[in-house]
Amino acid sequence: MSNPFAGWVWNGGTIAFFLISLVVVFAAVMLLQFRKVMYMALSIGLVFLGMAGLYILLNADFLAFAQILIYAGAITILMLFAVMLTRHDEVEDPPLRDPKKWLTALGCLALGAAMLWTIRNTPWSSPPAQPPWPVQKNVAAIAETLFTGYAVPFELVSVLLTVALVGAVILARKEG
Amino acid sequence: MAPVGSFLALAAVLFCIGLYGALTKRNIIIVLLSVELMLNAANLNLAAFARMGIAPGIAGQIFGLFSMTVAAAEVAVGLAILIALYRNRNSTDVRDMDLMKW
């Protein structure tokens, strides 16, 4: 049995990774465990915030702030709105009462085990000490790449957002 | 710095939790939230490979930004469908929405 922590550099970033991933996995499990829909929506907000912390650990500052603004801000609040607009006193069935849920849980566990086994047995290159972009200029690097190499996808995404906006208005509009 | 495999493992765990939630939860809002969790796990993979994959570079973060935008559009349309369904069926239970079930 080889040392599972071979090649790890123990510094603040590693400890922060462990703490944040603990919080994220805990909040994700609570999402499954809570029975009130309101609590579920709030616990996924915690997951999104933890993911933003992981992005900061990965030197992806802009992605982290976009995560906080879009996911933890907009999407969680939209979901809370949806909960309040529908039946917000609704409760889920207690977990794992139904035998079909056991089968689903087994399938998900098998998929997770297969993925973890693959990750464990793949030789990964050791992480470079410095990210390939200037650390303090993450936003500038993203902007430069986005508006030179990815200008066409950027425009297409703006078209997609417009279409989604119009589609959402048409779908949610009252008939007649 | 934790190696790339630990980030991938965390993303895999989150993906499986999201998959389980999407398959078993009864409330359609929670199903949407679980799908968001799965999308987020994929985003974490993109950011991890951008920082310390075989060919690290800023492109992974750009892919992550695009998938976040698509996720936002998906939530907007999904919630609109949800509100329209709630208005017609007066329910948020996925079991009541079997109109297209064969």
* Structural domain of B72: 4-96
Residue B101 lies in a domain: no
Q: Does B85 touch chain A (CB under 8 A)?
A: no
Q: Could you tell me which residues are beta bridge partners of residue B93?
A: B27
Give the residue on A whose Cα is nearest the Cα of B26: A92
DSSP β-bridge partners for residue A36? A91
- Do the domain assignments include residue B30? yes
pLDDT surpassing 50 at residue A51: yes
Q: How confident is the model at residue B1 (pLDDT cuts 50, 70, 90)?
A: confident
What does the block give as tokens for A144?
A: 């430069």
Q: Residue A72 pLDDT > 50, yes or no?
A: yes
Q: Nearest CA of chain A to the CA of B97: how many Å? A: 15
Q: Which of B2, B42, B9, B23 is nearest to A112 (CA)?
A: B9
Within a domain: B102: no
- Predicted local distance difference test score (pLDDT) of residue A133: 78
Q: What is the mean pLDDT of residues B17-31?
A: 91
Any idea what the Cα angle at residue A36 is, between residues A30 and A40, rounded to 5°? Answer: 40
- Determine, for residues A25 and B13 on separate chains, whether the beta-carbon distance falls below 8 Å: yes
CB B40 within 8 A of CB A47: yes
Residue A146: in which H helix or E strand, if any? Answer: helix A138-148
Nearest residue, CB atoms, A13 vs list B1, B24, B64 = B1
Single-letter amino acid, residue B83: I
In total, the C-beta contacts within 8 angstroms joining chain A to chain B are 230
Tokens read off for B43: 């985003």
Could you report the per-residue pLDDT of B32-52, keeping only the tens digit for each?
999 999 999 999 999 999 988
Query: How do residues A121-145 score in pLDDT, each as one tens digit?
Result: 988 877 777 777 777 788 888 998 8
B3, B26, B27: residue with CB nearest A124: B3
- Using CA coordinates, name the residue in chain A closest to B38: A28
Sequence letter at residue A24: V
Nearest to A161 among B61, B73, B83 (CB): B73
Query: Does residue B38 lie in a domain region?
Result: yes
CATH number of the domain enclosing B43: 1.10.287.3510
Task: Give Cβ neighbours of residue A7 (< 8 Å, ≥ 6 apart).
Answer: A126, B3
Q: Does the CB of B51 have a partner CB in chain A at under 8 Å?
A: yes
Structural contact between residues B94 and B33, judged by C-beta atoms closer than 8 angstroms: no
Judged by CB atoms closer than 8 Å, whether chains meet at A90 and B13 is answered as no
Judged by average pLDDT, the poorest of A55-59, A83-87, A126-130, A144-148 is A126-130
Indicate if the pLDDT at residue A9 is higher than 90. Answer: no
- Assign A153 a pLDDT band (cuts: 50, 70, 90): very high
Please name the residue of chain B whose CA is at the shortest distance from the CA of residue A111.
B16
- Are the beta carbons of A31 and B37 separated by less than 8 Å? yes
Interface confidence (ipTM) of the complex = 0.90
Helix ranges (H only) for B1-102 are 4-24, 28-52, 59-89
Higher-confidence position of B96 and A50: A50
- Would you say residue B45 lies in a domain? yes
In whole angstroms, what is the distance from residue B40 CA to residue B17 CA? 12
Name the residue with higher pLDDT: B2 or B86.
Answer: B86
Say yes or no: B68 contacts chain A, CB-CB below 8 A: yes
B15 part of a folded domain? yes
**Domain annotation covers residue B60:** yes
When the pLDDT of each residue in chain A is averaged and rounded to a whole number, the result is: 87
Q: What is the mean pLDDT of residues B14-42?
A: 92
Q: Is the pLDDT of residue A1 over 60?
A: no
Mean pLDDT along residues A103-126: 91
pLDDT higher than 80, residue A6? no
**Ranges of each domain in chain A:** 9-88
The verdict on domain A9-88 having CATH code 1.20.120.1200 is yes
What integer pLDDT is reported at residue A34 of this predicted model? 87
- Map tokens 């390939």 to a residue: A132
Contacts of A51 in chain B (CB under 8 A): 40, 43-44
Let me know if residue B50 belongs to a domain.
yes
Q: Which residues of B touch A147 (CB under 8 A)?
A: none
List the beta bridge partners of residue A91.
A36
Number of domains in chain B: 1
Q: What is the pTM of this model?
A: 0.90
- The residues pairing with B27 across neighbouring beta strands, listed in sequence order, are B93
Total Cβ atoms within 10 A of residue B1: 21
The model's pLDDT over B49-82, given as tens digits with 9 standing for 90+, comes to: 998 878 888 888 999 999 999 999 999 999 998 8
Q: Residue A95 has which token pair?
A: 């977990």
Find, among B51, B92, B102, B74, the residue nearest to A92 by Cα: B92
| Mean pLDDT across chain B | 89
* Contacts with A24 from chain B: Cβ below 8 Å: 10, 14
